[in-house]
Structure 1
Amino acid sequence: MKYCVECGSEYQDKVTECADCPGSQLVDAATMRERGLPLPHERDTREFIRVGTAEDPLTAEDYVRMLESEHIPVFSRPRRGGTVDVLTTGNPMPWWEILVPEEHVQRATELLAREKAQLDATSDEAARAAEEEELETEAANAASPHT
């Protein structure tokens, strides 16, 4: 049997190209293992657990990048909540879930808490800087003579 290196689909030996991934290479099982690619029957069946949430997709991307840099498998997905939910239920649910395999939950939770604290501190600093700039502008406008 041959396998597509892109999607992992299994093909008979006489087939030369994956039907779903035009141009991708078909290789034997030994080559797949050498490249660290799973065979269809060896797919990842781990359960992923929610370790955090994000209010927006940019924050979710930041969390995902941080966890990936720590070699923690992760994915994020949008929740099915929205503005209408806030209006109808009064419950403002976060939009994005951050999920990791069960064996990485504790470490990922710690890292996300640290990252969230850092993002909150950066946000607070930006808000203070904006307030200071506004006060300086108001003071400069008050000091200048009006014509």
Structure 2
Amino acid sequence: MKYCARCGSEYRDDVERCEGCPSHPPLVSAEEMHSRGLPLPHELDRRVFVRAATTDNPLMVEVFAELLEERDIPVFIRAGRSGVVDKLTTGNLLPWWEILVPEGEQERAALLVERERAQEAATNDEAVRAAEEEERETEPDASPPPSP
């Protein structure tokens, strides 16, 4: 088989030039493709990435991506925005991020992200309670001063 080094198309051995490319470049062998660092069509990554989670917090998207990468789950982060219709119906045009993972890892990734969300919520609740307790301890006593 011969291949186009420009578009990667595969041709029979009797074909000399790529018919799909505008400049009709000459075709090369599989060995030549590899020597140029180009993959053959059957060597391309064909994984399908699907949504495992979304977030509207730019810091949490980084936390989630790092968590998944630590567990050897490939991650793509896609930033987006609400659509025009959302702005018309809700008045909001908020940023959001999609966390995309390979299809076979979707369940595992979603579970890991949800666990991280729950842990983050618990940590936030604990921090709020500690701050409220500290505020109560530092407030001046509201009782009247003792009588002489």
Match of 2:106 in 1: 105
Instruction: Report sequence identity in percent.
Output: 48
Q: TM-score, normalised by structure 2?
A: 0.61
Stretch moving more, 52-61 or 63-72: 52-61
The offset of 1:53, in angstroms, is 1.1
The offset of 1:77, in angstroms, is 1.6
Match of 1:21 in 2: none
Match of 2:88 in 1: 88
Query: Quick check: which has more Rg, 1 or 2?
Result: 2
In the alignment, structure 1 segments of 5+ residues that lack a partner are 1-9, 11-27, 33-37
SS in 2 for 1:89: helix
The number of residue pairs the alignment matches comes to 113
What CA RMSD, in Å, does the superposition of the two structures yield over aligned residues?
Answer: 3.4
Stretch moving more, 38-47 or 85-94: 85-94
CA 1:85–1:46: 2 relative to 1, 3 Å: same
Stretch moving more, 61-70 or 103-112: 103-112
Q: TM-score, normalised by structure 1?
A: 0.62
Higher helix share goes to which structure? 1
1:1-147 correspondence runs (5 A)? 29=34, 39=39, 41=41, 42-81=43-82, 88-90=88-90, 95-138=96-139, 140=140, 142=142
CA 1:81–1:110: 2 relative to 1, 3 Å: same
CA contact (8 A) 2:51 2:99 kept: yes
